[in-house]
Structure 1
């Protein structure tokens, strides 16, 4: 039996190391990881998606994207025949955005986000208080690999301005009921992971390792 190629796309500014605990049976699946690239001048999300799609070397792959990576793989599917698109801790259209993101689009408030805070995580750690905050910062320090201002400004704008208003019914959506970035109350037609937060790719990996193989192999109705 030919192995099914699986391409993983991490979330905003994250490196593929966020998938380090995801283990799929090697006899059935071949895993590949995609990285974020610095966007070209005035590059649209669709143009960017097409450029990243050029890294795919297999026919009919499964694309799995987390958060912003979930948005990107849905756009990538316009340029390559896929076996399946699976998104984790993400959204299927801008109708699933929380109210604050919709307001940010209308007011253009996203342009006021201080990018320096994202660019120097070590400096932020010095001003943090409490073990939980420091633990979270250590996670960010380990998994956030892209600290380029142009990328961050571009990425945040692409998320807020994403123009998809109709969900693709073929997209498989896995979402935690405790996601603080994309609250479950706004999400329709998803596989719910109890207690899953926005970073459940890290702390619900056992659920994902157990369930992803059957989700991938499940035939469309």
Structure 2
């Protein structure tokens, strides 16, 4: 049986380790974990970055899976690799699903101060930007943050805030938690709901997410 290739893109500043709790059948799927690459410059547009990320994809018509900012990235990568399916987790499908505080950050340009806080004190960053209820789980997530380059962080936060996409992709599947404080569930449309799932449910609800991914790809 020919295996379905799946390429995973982690969340902002995270490494492939965030996917370690998923238990997809290795007889059905070939799993590939992409790492964030260095931006060529702070001004590099997301299209060009996504094109460079896509160079790592060798199979035709793969499945792309992205978490949070990785979900935005796989949607951009879809322009270059013609995926059979795009699956986003704890992410957004268009700019209208972004919360008001992101729009505020865009208007005030306060996002310029976020990267230093992330690098120097992640717990404070989580409290301010991710929401107070995630503060206790910040320590859990922190160990998965392997990308600490200030240049990358500035670039990625800028591109989340500034992301422009009006219409969702045709072949997209959106998995979202009802307790997500980064991208609130109330702003999201046409998503597969995971009750009680937070923004880091890729770590805490991995069994449910595994089942959904398998069902989506085998139906």
- Normalising by structure 1, we get a TM-score of 0.89
| Contact 1:10/1:69 (<8 A) preserved | yes
1:203 correspondence with 2:209: no
Partners of 1:123 and 1:211 in 2: CA distance: 31
Partners of 2:216 and 2:53 in 1: CA distance: 24
Partners of 1:184 and 1:6 in 2: CA distance: 26
- Superposed displacement of residue 215, structure 1: 1.0
Partners of 2:83 and 2:179 in 1: CA distance: 30
- Normalising by structure 2, we get a TM-score of 0.90
- Superposed displacement of residue 92, structure 1: 0.3
Map Cα deviations across residues 60-97 of structure 1 (whole Å, 9 max, x no partner): 11000000000000000000111100000000001000
| Contact 1:98/1:183 (<8 A) preserved | yes
Provide the residue aligned with 1:185 in structure 2: 186
Provide the residue aligned with 1:66 in structure 2: 67
Provide the residue aligned with 2:129 in structure 1: none
| From 120, 136, 144, the counterpart of 2:138 | 136
2:86 aligns to what SS in structure 1? strand
- Superposed displacement of residue 105, structure 1: 1.4
Q: Over aligned residues, Cα RMSD in angstroms?
A: 1.7
Partners of 1:174 and 1:210 in 2: CA distance: 11
1:5 aligns to what SS in structure 2? strand
Provide the residue aligned with 1:11 in structure 2: 11
Aligned pairs (5 A) from 1:84-163: 84-113=85-114, 115-121=115-121, 133=135, 136-137=138-139, 139-163=140-164
Partners of 2:135 and 2:110 in 1: CA distance: 25
| Contact 1:45/1:158 (<8 A) preserved | yes
Q: Bigger shift: 98-107 or 5-14?
A: 98-107
Q: Bigger shift: 21-30 or 103-112?
A: 103-112
Structure 1 unaligned segments of length 5 or more: list them: 125-131
Number of corresponding residues: 209
Provide the residue aligned with 1:128 in structure 2: none
Provide the residue aligned with 1:83 in structure 2: 84
Partners of 1:73 and 1:188 in 2: CA distance: 18
Map Cα deviations across residues 88-143 of structure 1 (whole Å, 9 max, x no partner): 00000010001111121122221233x3332135897xxxxxxx956632x23320
Partners of 1:123 and 1:194 in 2: CA distance: 25
Where is the helix percentage greater, Structure 1 or Structure 2?
A: 2
Structure showing greater radius of gyration is 1
| Contact 2:95/2:166 (<8 A) preserved | yes
| Contact 2:3/2:28 (<8 A) preserved | yes
| Contact 1:121/1:141 (<8 A) preserved | no
Partners of 1:181 and 1:133 in 2: CA distance: 12
